[in-house]
Structure 1
Amino acid sequence: MTQQKHVTLVITHALRPENGAAYEAWLGKIMPVAAEYPGHLGANVIRPVDGQGMWNIVIRFDTLEHLYGWTQSETRQRLVDEITPLLAEGDRTEVRTEAAFWFTPPAPHLRQPKRWKQFLITLLVIFPSTNLVPHITGALLPTLKGSLILHLINDACVVALVVWFWMPIVTRIFAGWLKKA
């Protein structure tokens, strides 16, 4: 059974608080229209917390082509043009095909962990990997010792371990600590 991947469009709109009701009415118009487009999988609106004017809309599509069908459509452009006068910073969009980075927050309103925490977590997985892998590959491939080929194999093994094994585990284990201020 193949796992269906989806793409996500994250839209961020900054508004002045007095424009909230007009923006809600606009959302009531654009959301059903977006839902009619092929491949639409759903949408969520993350309303601003008190005193802030940052709205985030998360729309999921089954394929990148379907997402672009919506984002590049004349209908969406017309509706965005309609709301643009209320936006303080314009229509900011970001397409995410998957978690592009280990430390990308799961929701647009969350902040990334502090850089020093990202550094420590990354060091935690890189240091042992870069020290263990060369010993193992050196023992398994003694004829390649000191060669660029062995160096390439070591680098490929370290990157694979970090990307597909260590970082998913370590970021899950330290998730609470990473989220703290």
Structure 2
Amino acid sequence: MAITNHEPVTVSIARRVRPGKEQAYESWVRQIIAAVSRYPGHLGVAVLRPVPGGQADYVLVDRFDSLQHQQNWEQSAERAGFLQRLADLTDGEERIQKVSGLEFWFSLPEVPAEAVPHRHKMTLVITLAVFFLGMILNGLFGEVLHQLPLAVRVAVLSIVQVVVLSYLLMPRLTALLKHWLYDTP
């Protein structure tokens, strides 16, 4: 599925930071985030840091409102200057995935970047995950939440669900269901 110029784009960039260079890389990350934040169409960036015994790479997840705005940043001299400063901080090649819409929740490092799961399968997995997570949250915190005004209750549930889905549930469900989602053997 090709990315069109009229839909939001998410770019994930994974890099292996050299041992002992973590503080310098963290400084670089703060600086590049400040720079990209000034670009038109930038929607935000998340930094996923290495986890002991798990993910070994830093991953920057960058969102833009359109492919054109993302490409403007990607092709800018300012970004090129930042990338030149990485030579002493990182090992190996960066790994980049560029997706739009729902595909971000379904990207896996071991699946080729051009592979995209079927939209109806993504919709089914997300719907079931949101439903069951909503049921669990309401079961655990329903009495407390019911005392809050409707707008606050919906805001709290929405924020908690998006965070849990993005960082805990969807990565695990995607890995568990990858053969079905991607029709791989």
Q: Which category of TM-score, normalised to the shorter sequence, fits these structures?
A: 0.5 to 0.7
Q: Which amino acid aligns with 1:58?
A: V
Residue in structure 2 matching 1:9, options 8, 11, 30? 11
Q: Which amino acid aligns with 1:106?
A: W
CA contact (8 A) 2:7 2:67 kept: no
**Aligned-pair distance for 1:17?**
3.0
C-alpha distance in structure 2 between counterparts of 1:177 and 1:62, whole Å = 26
C-alpha distance in structure 2 between counterparts of 1:32 and 1:95, whole Å = 21
C-alpha distance in structure 2 between counterparts of 1:170 and 1:71, whole Å = 32
CA contact (8 A) 1:84 1:91 kept: no
Q: Deviations over 1:92-141 (max 9, x none)?
A: 322112344xxxx7276x6679xxxxxxxx9xxxxxxxxxxxxxxxxxxx
Q: Which amino acid aligns with 2:100?
A: T
Identical aligned residues as a percent: 30
Q: Deviations over 1:66-106 (max 9, x none)?
A: 00000110100110111122211133322112344xxxx72
The aligned counterpart of 2:95 is 92
C-alpha distance in structure 2 between counterparts of 1:112 and 1:172, whole Å = 24
In the TM superposition, 1:97-176 aligns within 5 A as 97-100=100-103, 106=105, 163=118, 165=120, 168-169=123-124, 172-173=127-128
The aligned counterpart of 1:25 is 27
C-alpha distance in structure 1 between counterparts of 2:17 and 2:45, whole Å = 20
Larger of the two Rg values belongs to structure: 1
The aligned counterpart of 1:41 is 43
Q: Which segments of 5 or more consecutive residues in structure 1 lack a partner in the other structure?
A: 114-121, 123-162
TM normalised by structure 1 equals: 0.57
1:81/1:165 CA distance change after superposition, 3 Å = closer
The aligned counterpart of 1:76 is 79
TM normalised by structure 2 equals: 0.56
C-alpha distance in structure 1 between counterparts of 2:56 and 2:122, whole Å = 34
Q: Is 1:56 the counterpart of 2:11 in the alignment?
A: no
Q: Which segments of 5 or more consecutive residues in structure 2 lack a partner in the other structure?
A: 1-5, 112-116, 130-169, 178-185
